[in-house]
Amino acid sequence: MKILITGSNGLLGQKLVYQLLQTPGITVIATSKGENRISRKDGYEYLSLDISNREEVLNIIGKVKPDCIINTAAMTNVDACELDPAGCKALNVDAVNFIIEAIQNSDTHLIHLSTDFVFDGEDGPYSEDDIPNPLSVYAKSKLESELAVMNSCDNWAIIRTIIIYGVTDDTQRSNLVLWTKSSLEQHKKINVITDQFRSPTLAEDLADACISAALRHAKGIFHVAGPEEDTDSIINLVKKIAAFYNLDTSLINPVSSDELKQPAKRPARTGFKLDKARRELGYHPHTLPEGLKIISSQLERKPANQ
């Protein structure tokens, strides 16, 4: 089975490549914009692919003829999307349509990544049957891409997820856990939201769910996040992360969404019901403490310059 990953330099993309290399019978084609930033270079092919370039998408997918595409590439900075709606649409909607065009008249299984932000946060935790009501440019773009995928063919799965955390080979991008840890280690005071609730997702768990969807040819929408019992306010999550790493919680400054004045509006309470993913993908997420332990051991193994 040949699996093509878009956005392989990203957090989920890197985990997918490493985990697929441990999965027997898979040919891995990793693609991302620009140079390959994954440390390991053997065991798979890397192709530079800018998914917002229609010609490149048609060309590369046409040549590779993958059995499955896992589309992780996206403009994922929610505030940047709010400030640049055209750039957001180009990557999060138009590029998805290029991928759909490239696999028309083929059997390629398209697994597309989406977000809890498609919901308005008035009624979380959400199941796959709940009705989306996106609040921001980013959220609307992801919902639009979902609809494009759903209307394209029968052979698709959409995996929605919530705050991904994990360690990558490069340090270009942070996430809730790494940001909390590094800020507090440097004794920086941090403003943390009190009135938004989430269940963060270990990147390895999400990669497992995507691979399971590929191997099982799963179809439909799947909610994949941290365990239901880990759903908490962002400030409590940050306090738990700080406590785990023995860091100074007095540096955590509580702020409301209104006080923080971020450009993009966020849903208040998300969290996912995971029954479908557990049943159909064999999904068993790590708890937050288990995930933090995994991250600690990964950071210990990293060379000092990374």
Q: How far is the CB of 283 from ligand NAP (least distance, A)?
A: 16
Cβ–Cβ contacts within 10 Å for residue 21, how many? 14
Question: Which of 3, 5, 9, 195: binder of ligand NAP (CB under 6 A)?
Answer: 9
Task: For residue 303, say if its preceding peptide bond is cis, omega within 30 degrees of 0.
Answer: no
Q: Which of 4, 183, 198 is nearest to 110 (CA)?
A: 4
Element spanning 183, H or E: helix 176-185
Q: How far is the CB of 96 from ligand NAP (least distance, A)?
A: 10
The nearer residue to ligand NAP, 172 or 189, going by C-beta atoms, is 172
Phi (first) and psi of residue 41, to 5 degrees: -115, -5
How do 2-6 and 68-71 pair as beta strands?
Answer: parallel
Q: Which of 106, 105, 124 is nearest to 115 (CA)?
A: 124
Q: Which residue has the tokens 């891995």?
A: 28
Strands annotated E in the chain = 2-6, 27-32, 45-48, 68-71, 109-115, 156-161, 164-165, 190-193, 197-198, 201-202, 220-223, 232-233, 252-255
The nearer residue to ligand NAP, 31 or 187, going by C-beta atoms, is 31
Q: Which residue has the tokens 């494009």?
A: 148
Question: Which of 3, 4, 5, 6: binder of ligand NAP (CB under 6 A)?
Answer: 6
231 is a site residue for ligand NAP (CB under 6 A): no
Question: Which of 74, 102, 157, 210: binder of ligand NAP (CB under 6 A)?
Answer: 74
Q: How far is the CB of 159 from ligand NAP (least distance, A)?
A: 8
The nearer residue to ligand NAP, 113 or 242, going by C-beta atoms, is 113
Q: How far is the CB of 237 from ligand NAP (least distance, A)?
A: 13
Phi (first) and psi of residue 255, to 5 degrees: -135, 150
Q: How far is the CB of 105 from ligand NAP (least distance, A)?
A: 23
52 is a site residue for ligand NAP (CB under 6 A): yes
What 8-state DSSP symbol labels residue 201?
E
With CB under 6 A, what is the number of residues at the site for ligand NAP?
A: 27
- Is the separation of the CB atoms in 246 and 201 below 8 Å? no
- Name the CA radius of gyration of the chain, rounded: 19
Query: How far is CA 220 from each of CA 35, 235, 247, rounded to the nearest angstrom?
Result: 33, 33, 42
270 is a site residue for ligand NAP (CB under 6 A): no
Question: Which of 4, 12, 234, 292: binder of ligand NAP (CB under 6 A)?
Answer: 12
Closest CB to ligand NAP belongs to which residue? 10
Q: Which stretch binds ligand NAP (CB under 6 A): 45-53, 58-66, 255-263, 295-303?
A: 45-53
The nearer residue to ligand NAP, 26 or 210, going by C-beta atoms, is 210
Region 107-166 residues binding ligand NAP, contact defined as CB under 6 A: 113, 115, 142, 161-164
CA distance 39 to 46: 12
Residue numbers of the site for ligand NAP (CB under 6 A)? 6-7, 9-13, 32-34, 49-52, 72-74, 76, 91, 113, 115, 142, 161-164, 173
